[in-house]
């Protein structure tokens, strides 16, 4: 009887522990931004085709600004509290969405849907002005 109980608990407990450990390691959490530095916050989903197209453009543009702008990326499908909090804070209802925050912490721009590399660079440059 006791052996059966241990086996049943192991069947349910071990997968739950693995799930929580793996889900925490895959979540992108926002690091503390550098004081007085603008921020770009991107919300996307792995199942969204426009998000995948934007990711290619974003991966080209973002590295050019990594020393000047704090960049955060959230997968809206993650169940992490940080992600849910950010979704609520910025009122995200569509992906992809990119929020542009100036050095004073004020949202100055928001793009929803796919944007091309040229327009993305324009938004980044406007943020630095």
In terms of Cβ atoms closer than 10 Å to its own Cβ (0-12, 13-18, 19+), residue 18 is exposed
5-61 tens-digit pLDDT: 667 766 777 666 655 555 543 334 344 446 689 999 999 999 999 999 999 999 999
Domains of the chain: 1-129 (3.40.30.10)
User: Is 50 in contact with 56 (CB distance < 8 Å)?
Assistant: no
Residue 66: what are its φ and ψ, rounded to 5°?
Answer: -60, -25
pTM across the whole model? 0.73
pLDDT above 70 (res 93): yes
pLDDT above 60 (res 101): yes
């Amino acid at each position: 009887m006791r052996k059966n109980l241990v086996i049943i608990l192991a069947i349910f407990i071990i997968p739950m522990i693995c799930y929580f450990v793996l889900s925490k390691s895959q979540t992108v959490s926002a690091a503390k931004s550098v004081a007085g530095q603008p921020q770009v916050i991107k919300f996307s989903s792995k199942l969204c085709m426009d998000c995948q197209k934007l990711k290619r453009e974003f991966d080209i543009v973002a590295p050019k600004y990594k020393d000047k702008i704090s960049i955060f990326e959230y997968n809206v499908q993650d169940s992490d509290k940080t992600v849910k909090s950010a979704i609520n804070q910025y009122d995200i209802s569509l992906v992809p969405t990119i929020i542009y925050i100036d050095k004073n912490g004020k949202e100055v721009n928001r793009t929803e849907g796919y944007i091309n590399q040229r327009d993305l660079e324009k938004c980044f440059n406007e943020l630095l002005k």
